[in-house]
A and B are shown apart, each in its own frame.
Chain A
Amino acid sequence: MENDRLKELLTAYADGELDEEGRREVEKRLAESENLRRELESMKKVKSLTSHMQLAQPEEEVWNMYWNQVYNRIERGIGWILLSVGAIILLSFGAFHFVQDFLLDPEPSLIMKIGVSTATLGVIILLVSVLRERLFIRKTERYKEIVR
């Protein structure tokens, strides 16, 4: 029997995952090999230690609220998309009228038009940048409470 196959069978045997035929095969090999018996003992020791442990169970309330929390996240995602689309529509509308009413108006000087356009663009870029940073900080904020 290949070594790898034997290791798989032995592991499955230790976990009770073999059918009758597999069990008989392993038991035959165990009877013939001291090394194999030691290997099985070693595996059982690890299983025995961890069998006395379990993952910490949360309160039942966590499971009661779980779906609601997932659903709220899905909704918020949709909300952000709608807000972004709305903001883009409004900004585009505003930009169009800005171009139409101010930039195409012959009265203000060219230097004023350049100044106002540049400042407006700068404000938009800063706003997007600050919003993005606030969202990023909000995601990681809870770690600031941890004492190092």
Chain B
Amino acid sequence: MNQSVTSLADAARQGEIQAFEQLVRQYMKKAYFFTLGLVGNREDALDISQNAFVKAYRGIKSLGSGEKFPSWFFSILRNETVNFIKKAKRKKLEALDHRESFLLFTDQSVPDAERAAVCRTVQQAIRSLPLDMQEILIMQHFQGLGYSEIADLLGIPRGSVASRLYRARAALKKKLNGVI
């Protein structure tokens, strides 16, 4: 556990806004990319992640102890993201159909058209999986987070990270039959 996060969160609970600012700066990229991977749109990812921080600020006094901040905040972020996805599906908003690609293919030796096609295929395959599988794939494959960090953020045991990843990869491979 990052000690500075615990002490920052404890200070934020006492009303120190500068401490909360440091927490935002530490977690803003993780929050943004987590949400981007799930909603596929940059503006929405910014909106949702920032709203999650605002909710965290308003509710931080209810946080039992500073060391629970990462999983507590991520549960707020996850709820905000899930609520957004549900609302968007109800309204059939095109935001979820992400015209722009939020995944980029980094291997420049592959032709442009092929790179874009592969990214779109992988995005659609991931998007068709249950949310808990999408989360774990985004966090491990695209955010490059380690098992301990993922466990910390999701509030689950380290072993559960491995088992969820196993199921998610198996499901993704099935969807990508023909590409892999």
The interface residues of chain B, by DSSP majority, are classed as helix
**A52 and B176 in contact (CB under 8 A), knowing A11-B163, A67-B21?**
no
Q: Is the CB of A77 within 8 A of B54?
A: yes
Find out whether the CB atom of B179 lies under 8 angstroms from the CB atom of A49: yes
Q: How many residues in B have their beta carbons less than 8 Å from beta carbons of A?
A: 53
* Contacting residues, chain A, for B132 (C-beta < 8 A): none
A66 touches B180 (CB 8 A): no
State the CA gap A116–B81 with chains docked (Å).
Answer: 47
- Enumerate chain A residues within 8 angstroms of B153, measured Cβ to Cβ: none
Q: Does A118 contact B (CB under 8 A)?
A: no
Say whether A24 faces chain B, with CB atoms less than 8 Å apart: no
Residues of A contacting B: mostly: helix
CB 8 Å contact bits of A78-103 with B (1 = contact, 0 = none): 00000000000000000000000000
Chain B residues with CB under 8 Å of A17's CB are 146-147, 162
Give residues 18-41 of B contacting A (CB, 8 Å).
21, 24-25, 28-29, 32-33, 36-37
Asked whether B106 lies within 8 Å of A70 as measured between CB atoms, the reply is: no
Q: A121 — which chain B residues lie within 8 A by C-beta?
A: none
Cα distance, A52 to B141, chains bound together (Å): 10
C-alpha gap A140/B91 in the complex (Å): 10
- Identify which of A8, A52, A70 contacts B53 (C-beta below 8 A): A70
The segment from A29-37, A38-46, A106-114 that touches chain B is A38-46
A-side interface residues toward B, CB under 8 Å?
4, 7-12, 15, 17, 42-43, 45-47, 49-56, 58, 62-63, 66-67, 69-71, 73-74, 77, 140, 142-143, 146, 148
For this complex, 10 residue pairs linking A to B, each with C-beta atoms less than 8 Å apart, are A9-B162, A12-B147, A46-B180, A50-B141, A53-B104, A55-B104, A55-B138, A58-B42, A67-B28, A73-B51
